[in-house]
Amino acid sequence: MSNSIDNEYFCDGLTEEIINALAKIKDLAVTSRTSSFHFKNKNITAREVREKLKVATFIEGSVRSSINKMRITVQMIDTVDDFHFWSETFDRKPEDVFEIQDDISLFIAEKLREHVGHLEIEDKLVEPIDVPTDVYREYLKGRYYIMKLDYKNTIKGIKILQNLIKRAPNFSNPYLDINQAYVYMGTMGLLPAFEAYEKAQPYLLKALELDPNSSRSQLNLAWIECWQNWNLKKAYEHANKALDIQQADDIYLTISNFLTVEGKLEAARNYLDKALQLDPYAAINHHYKGFLYYLQEDYTTAIPFLKKALVLDPMLPFPPIYIGICLLMSGKPNEALSYFGSLEGVSVKDLTKLGGETMCYAKLNEMEKCHDGLEELETYLTTTQVDKALTFLILVNALLGNNKKVVELVTQAYDNRLPLILLLNPSPILKPIKNHKSVKEILLKAIPDNLNYKQNKKYKQALLDTNEIEKYSKELEQIMADYKLYLNPDLALKDLASYLELPANYVSQLLNMGFQKNFSELVNSYRITEFKQRILLEENKGLTIMAVAYDSGFNSKTVFNTFFKKIEGMTPNAFIKSTLKN
């Protein structure tokens, strides 16, 4: 509520820190930055917030700042009844910035606990940073520009942070933000991927040296292990560490990316849905949901998600590519050609228009125009746009059935360590050539431990034999231990099938023969075990039995009581009394 832009980026930074602090509290779902900031400076009702963000409670506040004094007002509002639980004013000196962040975060957390139920809250939610206030304010200024997510402002933010590093070389945050900025530009096509990752790496290495255990450090390591080092095992390890530290939409999106690389598209969608729940106004989340439907060849369902992404961020470079390809692959080549031809702005610069039109000419059998397009795309192979040029060249030649040329281009992409290699396996356009010997060898070299690349699974009529049942039973037990799928109350048999990469019929047989249980019995037995562990925890003593049951994955009181008595031979109340006596 001050006129200076300096106070705007300080207010944004304060808000983001409070969001991150509250997101660290287990069992508390907190809407992420993008969706929270979507409502900044907008006149909106509590009902609209509830409907758009699917939240029960929201925090609203403002900052007034002068040279010597800062006044922050905070209030908590129930979205169902539009009821103000409380309102509080904090008067502080501007130099007490870290104390302010922690005080407000703890105050909000305590008030939430009073009104919505038990939460386990640490003594501190925001750790103070050992830098002067003016350095921290300058950092927030650089981050303010980077988070605008366009090329011009991102470069401006990077320069601010690079100058700041000279003043505070041991402050880890600027290094992480510069790394994130370059990786984002490489991923979004604002810079060539190789160049962007190369510029990003020294900043990440320095950040890891200074602060290796933050969620952002772990998330950046996960990206590097996947897209640069092509090591999915390590990528998952770092992403899961990040998720343990903080439940954030970009971490769920990242794990969804990795599952997509493996071809586990249903599992990828489960993680993506969690990202969308936490950040429903993030354009990239809507784009990725559309992209997953595209990979599953559900083109009609994909297009609305891709269009929604462009409404939220018209400069996002990916959705136009897949809107056009979805039209093309759903039997509408002329409509696709018209769509690609109408693109302007960023889509022209990143070869989407040229590449898309050339794909349409291939599908329409207009060979002269297609040949001209291929020749023009090839001129970009020695430029900074080699990534996009190769992608379109591979797709066009696959549509033409030029398998030899596709192999040559895939080899070129592999030799240049281009990230596009990792997304060849699930591409519907490349289905006819995916099992070509040379292509399969390249995919295996890129990710040698990925079974998806090793074989084209053909299931026999007789379903699973004894050895396969033993093998997949162990695999399912490990998946349940690693991912705790049973905590999802909407878990279905098809979800288990997607993780095991087996048809649902096979998984049904596996459960019956490997575990002597049907799907419902198996999943609810895991939930009962989880409940028995949770109900005895000190942190859950203030919760009702059903609150713990719901936290353990149940969504029905009747189902919970029925299965508990069936498995344990007693009611939940009797179990608790019996355990406490012992």
pLDDT digits (tens, 9 = 90+) for 390-417: 999 999 999 998 989 999 999 998 888 8
Q: How confident is the model at residue 125 (pLDDT cuts 50, 70, 90)?
A: confident
How far, in Å, are 56, 397, 399, 465 from residue 361 at the CA level?
A: 51, 11, 10, 48
In this predicted structure, the answer to whether residue 451 has a pLDDT above a threshold of 70 is no
The pLDDT tens digits for 236-266 are 989 988 888 877 888 999 999 998 988 888 8
How open is the CA angle 182-183-186, to the nearest 5 degrees?
85
The answer to whether 317 and 189 have CB atoms below 8 angstroms apart is yes
Q: What local confidence, expressed as pLDDT, does residue 370 receive?
A: 95
Q: How confident is the model at residue 482 (pLDDT cuts 50, 70, 90)?
A: confident
Q: Which residue has the tokens 């353990």?
A: 552
3-state secondary structure of 65: strand
Residue 514: which of 477, 485, 539, 548 has the closest Cα?
477
The answer to whether 287 and 254 have CB atoms below 8 angstroms apart is no
> What is the architecture, at CATH level 2, of domain 5-116?
3-Layer(aba) Sandwich (3.40)
Average pLDDT over residues 9-27: 79
Burial level of 285, CB count in 10 A (0-12/13-18/19+)? buried
CATH code of the region 133-212: 1.25.40.10
In this predicted structure, the answer to whether residue 544 has a pLDDT above a threshold of 60 is yes
Q: What local confidence, expressed as pLDDT, does residue 166 receive?
A: 92
β-bridge mates for residue 61, sequence order: 74
Stronger pLDDT, 67 or 547, i.e. the higher one: 547
CA distance 450 to 358: 32
List CB contacts of 557: < 8 A, sequence separation 6 or more.
546, 549
Of 210-224, 379-393, 456-470, the one with minimum mean pLDDT is: 456-470
Q: What local confidence, expressed as pLDDT, does residue 189 receive?
A: 66
Q: What local confidence, expressed as pLDDT, does residue 264 receive?
A: 84
Q: Do the domains 235-454 and 133-212 match in fold?
A: yes
In this predicted structure, the answer to whether residue 67 has a pLDDT above a threshold of 90 is no
CA distance 87 to 501: 51
Residue 315: which of 293, 347, 343 has the closest Cα?
347
In this predicted structure, the answer to whether residue 388 has a pLDDT above a threshold of 80 is yes
Q: Which residue has the tokens 């402002």?
A: 153
How far, in Å, are 16, 164, 206 from residue 172 at the CA level?
A: 17, 11, 8
In this predicted structure, the answer to whether residue 431 has a pLDDT above a threshold of 80 is yes
Residue 572: which of 582, 519, 557, 551 has the closest Cα?
557
In this predicted structure, the answer to whether residue 81 has a pLDDT above a threshold of 60 is yes
Q: What local confidence, expressed as pLDDT, does residue 408 receive?
A: 92
Residue 65: which of 13, 131, 105 has the closest Cα?
13
In this predicted structure, the answer to whether residue 1 has a pLDDT above a threshold of 70 is no
Stronger pLDDT, 360 or 513, i.e. the higher one: 360
The answer to whether 74 and 111 have CB atoms below 8 angstroms apart is no
β-bridge mates for residue 78, sequence order: 57, 83
Q: Which residue has the tokens 């429903």?
A: 280
Q: Where are the alpha helices (DSSP H) in 484-518?
A: 493-500, 504-514
Q: How confident is the model at residue 488 (pLDDT cuts 50, 70, 90)?
A: confident
What single-letter amino acid sits at 415?
A: D
The answer to whether 73 and 89 have CB atoms below 8 angstroms apart is yes
3-state secondary structure of 461: coil
Q: What local confidence, expressed as pLDDT, does residue 448 receive?
A: 67
In this predicted structure, the answer to whether residue 501 has a pLDDT above a threshold of 50 is yes
Average pLDDT over residues 63-77: 81
Q: How confident is the model at residue 162 (pLDDT cuts 50, 70, 90)?
A: very high
Q: What local confidence, expressed as pLDDT, does residue 3 receive?
A: 63
Domain assignments of the chain as residue spans, ordered by start: 5-116, 133-212, 235-454, 466-581
Residue 146: which of 160, 162, 157, 137 has the closest Cα?
157
* Tokens found for residue 45: 């009702």
Stronger pLDDT, 237 or 464, i.e. the higher one: 237
The pLDDT tens digits for 551-580 are 898 988 888 998 999 899 999 999 988 887
- The CATH fold of domain 466-581: Arc Repressor Mutant, subunit A (1.10.10)
Looking at residue 214, what DSSP letter applies? S
Q: Are strands 83-92 and 57-65 parallel, antiparallel or unpaired?
A: unpaired
Looking at residue 41, what DSSP letter applies? T
Q: How confident is the model at residue 462 (pLDDT cuts 50, 70, 90)?
A: very low
The pLDDT > 70 percentage for the chain reads 93
- Out of 1.25.40.10, 3.90.1200.10, 3.30.2320.50, 1.10.357.10, the CATH code matching 235-454 is 1.25.40.10
Q: What local confidence, expressed as pLDDT, does residue 193 receive?
A: 72
Residue 250: which of 282, 225, 227, 228 has the closest Cα?
282
In this predicted structure, the answer to whether residue 129 has a pLDDT above a threshold of 50 is yes
Q: What local confidence, expressed as pLDDT, does residue 458 receive?
A: 41
In this predicted structure, the answer to whether residue 179 has a pLDDT above a threshold of 50 is yes
Compute how many other C-beta atoms are within 10 angstroms of the C-beta atom of residue 51: 11
Q: What local confidence, expressed as pLDDT, does residue 46 receive?
A: 83
β-bridge mates for residue 72, sequence order: 63, 90
3-state secondary structure of 163: helix
62 alpha carbon, distance to own chain's centre: 29
